[in-house]
Amino acid sequence: MALHELAGKKASKSMLVNVPRLVSSYYTDEPKGPVSFGTSGHRGSSLNGTFNEKHITATAQAISEYRLLKGITGPLFMGFDTHALSEPAFRTALEVFAGNGVEVLIHAKDEYTPTPVISHLILEHNRGKSKGFADGVVITPSHNPPGDGGFKYNPPHGGPADVDVTQWVQERANRLIDAGGSGIKRMPYEKARKADTTHERDFITPFISSLAEVIEMEAIQKAGIRIGADPMGGSGVHYWMPIAETYDLNIEVVNPDVDPTFGFMTVDSDGEIRMDCSSVYAMAGLIAMADRFDIAWGNDTDFDRHGIVCPSGLMNPNHYMSVAIWYLLRNRPAWGKGLKVGKTLVSSSMIDKIVAAFGRELYEVPVGFKWFVNGLLDGTVAFGGEESAGASFLRKDGSVWSTDKDGFILTLLAAEILAKTGKTPAEIYQGVLVPEYGGPYYKRTDGPITGEQKSLLKALSPDSIKVPVLAGLPVTAVMTKAPGNGAAMGGVKVLLGDGSWFAMRPSGTEPKMKVYIESYGGKALWEQIRDEALPLIFGKRI
């Protein structure tokens, strides 16, 4: 895709979403599409009829019925982020949950709630219990543009719901919509707020007080590291200062503003306002002030992703994940040798080499954090991470911390790494990992995809690709299933002789083709792989 002329520049006023119209459409427009759970919940916009009140009433009712079906009788933790549609959806959902007699715990004073906080609270409640399990809902479209809304369900394991759950919920929700809302139990918001089943709690303090169980906070404090934190207008905006005060850290929140238009953002590569902390264009503001800090970071709107900014600039997410794994395997002595290290199929092969060097087992799965949930929960997977800058890992004692992506601990880990090694993660990657394991050139490129191409990708098998050589390198393996768990990846990954590889898969949330290529021969080989790979699969370049 061509780079937009405003990429990396502040959004113009003409680009900002009309919030009154957005919210009005949520309440008044009819659905123009079904409830559809992608890789992380139902997402859409009220402006095109794909996220409105009827979607949310039906989804909340379906979740209430699913809880009853599965005997989930504990509280439901519910939070929302700073997108304009999130609070209306929160109010709608509370009306339905209260109407169904579901015990709901919400953040006191209508405070925003990050995704990892909900996951952590669910797990803390369920620890040691044999019944009365809690679950949760996070109302967020993640880093998506300001006009979008999102609704995610986390079952009692604390992580993203698996396909068997989301399929049941979406099918039931769509039947409710088709029936005109018949069967939906609901009460007015003020009554729901005062219901005996609705309880307000402080979500911030218990989460922050537990951070020292997963991060060496004292080491960061003693090193006196100057930290810059950019919440990017997201749900963790009011967490960083309490973290700084609790642990006596030198943190400057560079942008404490909350604005549902996200008018303070710089524009992403395609001209959209998108709170993507792994994009140099969306992170341009923080990158410009990188020399003011020893380490800096940004998070997306629901704080399940991280972007690490060193004085040298924004780190590639694969580079940081490689450093994080390398560091943790050296500095978590309580983590047993039998623990696995998890990555997705489209993450850097640098991770494979690091894991092998430490004598650990690699757990390679398809895209989607849900694949790491059970391993993190039972403590058999020490770290689970995605190339899209989302990850979590175990506490220092090897017990579960969260089973959803956690942008707090991944960013604080960068400060711990600097405090304990005296080097930034970028310096470790270039000065330690590249000399030891080589320096791959990794880049993902997106493009349009037709329904026919999507079906073709999903139907591929290893026997579908028979060429012995690609880009001058021998084809060593063709994969359509992940070696870690045998699950279908929904696309294909082709391994080449020197460690280079490419993978293709359709996006789970947008009509896009995602092409991942990692070259151990620099940019030139990367381009050659791209030019030969696309025709190999589709018969032409796309």
Query: pLDDT truncated to tens, each residue of the chain (542 aa)?
Result: 678 999 999 999 999 999 999 999 999 999 999 999 976 689 999 999 999 999 999 999 999 999 999 999 999 999 999 999 999 999 999 999 999 999 999 999 999 999 999 999 999 999 999 999 999 999 999 999 999 999 999 999 999 999 999 999 999 999 999 999 999 999 999 999 999 999 999 999 999 999 999 999 999 999 999 999 999 999 999 999 999 999 999 999 999 999 999 999 999 999 999 999 999 999 999 999 999 999 999 999 999 999 999 999 999 999 999 999 999 999 999 999 999 999 999 999 999 999 999 999 999 999 999 999 999 999 999 999 999 999 999 999 999 999 999 999 999 999 999 999 999 999 999 999 999 999 999 998 888 888 888 888 888 888 888 899 999 999 999 999 999 999 999 899 999 999 999 999 987 666 788 999 999 999 999 999 999 998 888 764 44
> 515, 442, 500, 448: which is closest to 469 by C-alpha?
500
pLDDT of residue 539: 67
- Collapsing DSSP to helix, strand or coil, 55 comes out as helix
pLDDT of residue 34: 96
Q: What does the alpha-carbon distance between residue 154 and residue 470 come to, in Å, rounded to a whole number?
A: 42
Token couple for 158: 């604390």
H or E stretch covering 38 = strand 37-38
- The full DSSP string for 280-342 is TTTTHHHHHTGGG-SEEEEE-TTS--EEEEETTEEPPHHHHHHHHHHHHHHH-TTS-TT-EEE
> 314, 288, 528, 519: which is closest to 424 by C-alpha?
314
H helices present in 358-450, as ranges? 373-378, 407-421, 425-428, 434-437
Q: What does the alpha-carbon distance between residue 394 and residue 403 come to, in Å, rounded to a whole number?
A: 9
Q: What does the alpha-carbon distance between residue 415 and residue 486 come to, in Å, rounded to a whole number?
A: 36
Contacts of 331 (CB under 8 A, 6+ apart): 216, 420
- The full DSSP string for 180-216 is TTTT-----HHHHHHSTTEEEE--HHHHHHHGGGTS-
Burial of residue 330 (CB within 10 Å: 0-12, 13-18, 19+) is exposed
Strands 76-80 and 135-139: parallel
pLDDT of residue 396: 98
Q: What does the alpha-carbon distance between residue 532 and residue 534 come to, in Å, rounded to a whole number?
A: 6
Q: What does the alpha-carbon distance between residue 266 and residue 275 come to, in Å, rounded to a whole number?
A: 9
Adjacent-strand bridge partners of 362: 341
Contacts of 284 (CB under 8 A, 6+ apart): 8, 9, 266
pLDDT of residue 457: 86
Q: Domains of the chain by range and CATH?
A: 16-202 (3.40.120.10), 207-437 (3.40.120.10), 441-538 (3.30.310.50)
> 484, 533, 542: which is closest to 368 by C-alpha?
484
**Beta carbons of 206 and 171 less than 8 angstroms apart:** no
Displacement of CA 448 from its chain's centroid (Å): 22
Token couple for 186: 């609901």
pLDDT of residue 1: 60
- The full DSSP string for 445-468 is EEEE--HHHHHHHHH--GGG---S
Contacts of 123 (CB under 8 A, 6+ apart): 158, 377, 400, 401, 402, 403
Q: N- to C-terminal Cα distance for the chain?
A: 10
> 321, 302, 320, 337: which is closest to 407 by C-alpha?
302
Let me know if 142 is a catalytic residue.
Answer: yes
Q: What is the largest CA-CA distance in the chain?
A: 69
**Beta carbons of 276 and 383 less than 8 angstroms apart:** no
pLDDT of residue 536: 86
Q: What does the alpha-carbon distance between residue 178 and residue 368 come to, in Å, rounded to a whole number?
A: 30
> 237, 241, 197: which is closest to 106 by C-alpha?
197
Q: Which of 25, 45, 142, 278 is catalytic?
A: 142
